[in-house]
């Protein structure tokens, strides 16, 4: 039975084994003294975390298949944002205080999801299928929420006097959570049909053919393994944060690299699922995943990091720097124009992907 479990939950098992080995050998001073050793261990941990993310995707997809849309996408995005919050909190509590790490990670996550992931899928899907259609009401709903929360969470803090920042942060915690709860209510109940589209996936093999019958999918088991895998990722993230900080200091790399690395790990579960959906001509699922993840990132991560900052008595800088603000505004404007008619094509994808390349370029310049 243990053998079957190991084979079935290989990603979780490898994560647990890695945690045990790090606990035994990770504190060895000889490892910290060698940049090569640190680099190798970083790559191993990074690879295990990405592989564990596949386990998160697997259980989230089973639950998604059982409960249907948009509940499946909600499960996946909430799972991913849990990993994001855990990783950012771990980075905040490790080593020297870096009040901008949360902001940089949120910014990087937005750029990867909107420009990198969505742009790449639109580009490939446009080349393969021409135009890919989706429900325009979903993109309008997502962008309205995202722009509103980005405005009050990442722009307004720049204008709030320092003497009132603590009061505003408390207000921000409640308003972001309230907005997201209300959105989830609308998404799952009254406006459920906004996030569905029946016109796609024509003459395409159904992704669900390889899945077992819905009655054979255990809700309790998959939820339990989903949470257990997320917990293992969070423990590995704590070790990864040590090597990220040390590596950036020794190599004298820009501080934004840390946010980029965390963001890549964070979006990996959604990215794998979204790419698969895009290749299967299911652009509605891509929209639900990418924009849904953007929304959960700003509406849940912002209050979460503010709460962590209060608990550990650390300042959190949410206001975007000028370059970051320019990239966010440009990307959101392009995104709104891209989604104005409910169709995507290769040109739109290429524009978004070039914005992503610009984002990466600016980190190092």
Lowest mean pLDDT, pick from 44-48, 119-123, 213-217, 292-296: 213-217
pLDDT in tens, 162-179: 889 989 999 999 999 999
Which of 96-105, 227-236, 240-249, 325-334 has the highest mean predicted lDDT (pLDDT)?
325-334
CA distance 93 to 144: 33
The per-residue pLDDT for 88 is 76
Name, in order, each residue with C-beta under 8 angstroms of 17's C-beta and a sequence gap of 6 or more: none
- Tell me which of 1.20.1420.30, 3.40.50.2300, 3.40.50.150, 3.40.190.10 is the CATH number of domain 2-206+216-364: 1.20.1420.30
Confidence of residue 272 (pLDDT cuts 50, 70, 90): confident
346 close to 123: Cβ distance less than 8 angstroms: yes
CA distance 335 to 338: 5
Lowest mean pLDDT, pick from 60-69, 177-186, 311-320: 60-69
- Who has greater pLDDT, 273 or 180? 180
Confidence of residue 113 (pLDDT cuts 50, 70, 90): very high
pLDDT in tens, 51-82: 887 887 788 778 877 877 667 667 767 777 77
Q: What is the mean pLDDT of the chain?
A: 83
Name, in order, each residue with C-beta under 8 angstroms of 327's C-beta and a sequence gap of 6 or more: 107, 111, 355, 358, 359, 362
pLDDT in tens, 127-142: 989 889 999 999 999 9
The answer, yes or no, to whether residue 18 has pLDDT greater than 80, is yes
The per-residue pLDDT for 27 is 66
The answer, yes or no, to whether residue 37 has pLDDT greater than 80, is no
Beta bridge partners of 70: none
The per-residue pLDDT for 231 is 81
Any idea where the domains of the chain sit in the sequence?
2-206+216-364
pLDDT in tens, 232-261: 887 887 777 777 777 777 777 777 787 788
> pTM of the full predicted structure?
0.82
- Residue written as token pair 């509605």: 284
């Amino acid at each position: 039975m243990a053998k079957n479990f190991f084979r079935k939950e290989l990603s979780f098992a490898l994560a647990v084994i890695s945690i045990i080995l790090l606990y035994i050998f990770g504190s060895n001073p000889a490892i910290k003294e060698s940049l090569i050793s640190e680099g190798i261990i970083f790559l191993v941990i990074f690879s295990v975390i990405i592989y564990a993310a596949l386990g998160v995707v697997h259980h989230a997809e089973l639950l998604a298949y059982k409960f249907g849309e948009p509940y499946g996408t909600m499960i996946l995005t909430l799972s991913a944002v849990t990993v994001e919050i855990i990783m950012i909190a771990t980075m905040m509590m490790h080593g020297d205080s870096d009040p901008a790490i949360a902001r940089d990670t949120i910014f990087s996550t937005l750029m990867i999801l909107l420009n990198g992931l969505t742009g790449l899928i639109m580009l490939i899907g446009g080349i393969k299928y021409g135009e890919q259609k989706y429900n325009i009401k979903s993109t309008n709903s997502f962008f309205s929420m995202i722009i509103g929360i980005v405005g009050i969470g990442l722009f307004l803090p720049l204008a709030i006097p320092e003497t009132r920042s603590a009061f505003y942060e408390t207000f921000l915690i409640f308003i972001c959570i309230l907005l997201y709860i209300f959105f989830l209510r609308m998404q799952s109940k009254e406006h459920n049909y906004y996030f569905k589209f029946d016109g796609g996936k024509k003459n395409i093999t159904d992704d669900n053919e390889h899945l077992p019958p819905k009655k054979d999918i255990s809700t309790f088991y998959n939820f339990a393994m989903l949470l257990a895998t997320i917990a293992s990722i969070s423990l590995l993230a704590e070790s990864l944060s040590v090597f990220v900080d040390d590596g950036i200091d020794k190599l004298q790399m820009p501080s934004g690299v840390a946010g980029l690395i965390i963001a890549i790990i964070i979006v990996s579960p959604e990215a794998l699922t979204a790419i698969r959906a895009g290749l299967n001509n299911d652009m509605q699922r891509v929209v639900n995943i990418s924009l849904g993840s953007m929304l959960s990132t700003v509406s849940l991560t912002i209050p979460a990091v503010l709460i962590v900052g209060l608990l550990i008595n650390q300042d959190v800088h949410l206001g975007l720097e000028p370059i970051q603000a320019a990239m966010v505004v440009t990307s959101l404007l392009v995104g709104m124009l891209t989604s104005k008619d409910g169709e995507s094509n290769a040109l739109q994808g290429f524009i978004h992907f070039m914005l992503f390349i610009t984002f990466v370029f600016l980190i190092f310049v």
